[in-house]
Amino acid sequence: MESRKEDARRMVSVTINGEMRQGLAEPRTLLAYFIRETLGLTGTHVGCDTTSCGACTVLFDGEPVKSCTVLAVQADQHQIDTVEGLETDNVLHPLQQAFWDNHGLQCGFCTPGMLMTSVALLQKNPHPTESEIRHGISGNLCRCTGYVNIVKAITDASHKMQKEPAEV
């Protein structure tokens, strides 16, 4: 058993938040744990290990994926974006700012995954309706907010990102 595992580890290289990083991973290592434990980026959270809660959502070549259901080796030579990459030059991403402004988070545990899903949502659909937002984030569970202010925050960000006045 020992030899199997030792031999099986292989180097995985990813471009994460624009930076080339690499680390060893067992074939069974999940991307979520590779990001958190090997690369040390703990903003990506694990809430269920079963693709249900969405706390581990990251962008994989721009597409939102639940990183607890992707193997680290699958990410080799791919581009990953996590919550840590949203801020630029000490300025929060409009979605981060909108979540703060609109009380779109409470305990904050689901927030990184919720933000990454929202980033992908607004990239595909810059002007989502409330229903589109609710369906768009339905793979991400939040137990604190009841989603009201998350929906509000995403709407607010969508307006700001289009440089339109936000609805009150």
Partner 1 sequence: MAIEATETRPLGKAIKRKEDPRLVRGQGRYLDDIVLPGMLYMALARSPYAHARIKEIRLDQAYQVPGVKAILTGADLEKMNLSWMPTLAGDRQMVLATGKVLFQYQEVAAVVAESRAAAEDAVQLIEIDYEPLAPVVDPYAALKADAPLLREDRDQKDNHIFHWEVGDRKATDDALASSPVVVKEFIRMPRVHPAPVEPCGCIADYQKATGKLTWYVTSQAPHAHRTVLALVSGLPEHMIHVISPDIGGGFGNKVPVYPGYVCSVVMSLQLGRPVKWVETRTENIATTNFARDYHMTAEIGATQEGIVTALKVATIADHGAFDAAADPSKFPAGLFSIVTGSYDFPVAFAEVDGVYTNKAPGGVAYRCSFRVTEASYLIERVMNTLALKLNLDPAEIRRRNFIRPEQFPYQSPLGWTYDSGNYDATLNEALKLVDYEQLRKQQAERRAGGELVGIGISTFTEIVGAGPSNTFDILGIKMFDSCEIRIHPTGKAIARLGTRHQGQGHETTFAQVIADELGMTAADVLIEEGDTDTAPYGLGTYASRSTPTAGGAAALAARRIRQKAIQIAAHLLEVSPDDVEWNGEKFAAKGLESRAVGMSEVALAAYTNLPEGMEPGLEATYYYDPPNLTFPNGAYVAMVAIDRGTGEVKVERFVAVDDCGTVINPMVVDGQVHGGLTEGFGIAFMQEIAYDEDGNNLAPNFMEYLVPTAVEAPHWETGRTVTPSPHHPIGAKGVGESPNVGSPAAFVNAVVDALSPYGVTNVEIPLFPWKVWNVLKELGLTQ
Return the closest-CA partner of residue 145 out of 102, 112, 115: 102
> Which residue, 64 or 112, is less far from partner 1 as judged by CB?
112
Interface residue with partner 1, options 105, 121, 122, 157 (CB under 8 A)? 105
Interface residue with partner 1, options 16, 31, 41, 59 (CB under 8 A)? 41
How big is the site for partner 1, counted in residues (CB under 8 A)? 63
Q: How far is the CB of 160 from partner 1 (least distance, A)?
A: 13
Write the binding mask 64 to 103 for partner 1: x where contact by CB under 8 A, - elsewhere.
------------------xxx-xx----x---xx-xxxxx
| Long-range contacts of 98-105, Cβ-Cβ distance < 8 Å, separation of 24 or more | 98/153, 98/154, 98/156, 98/157, 98/160, 99/150, 99/153, 101/153, 101/156, 102/149, 102/152, 102/153, 102/156, 103/145, 103/149, 104/145, 104/149, 104/150, 104/152, 104/153, 104/154, 105/144, 105/145, 105/150
Contact flag: residue 108 with partner 1 (CB under 8 A): yes
Contact flag: residue 12 with partner 1 (CB under 8 A): no
What is the phi-psi region of residue 138: left when phi exceeds 0, alpha when psi lies from -120 to 50, beta otherwise? alpha
Contacts with partner 1, residue ranges (CB under 8 A):
1-2, 5, 26, 28-29, 33, 36-37, 41-50, 52-53, 55, 82-84, 86-87, 92, 96-97, 99-103, 105-112, 115, 133-135, 137-151, 168
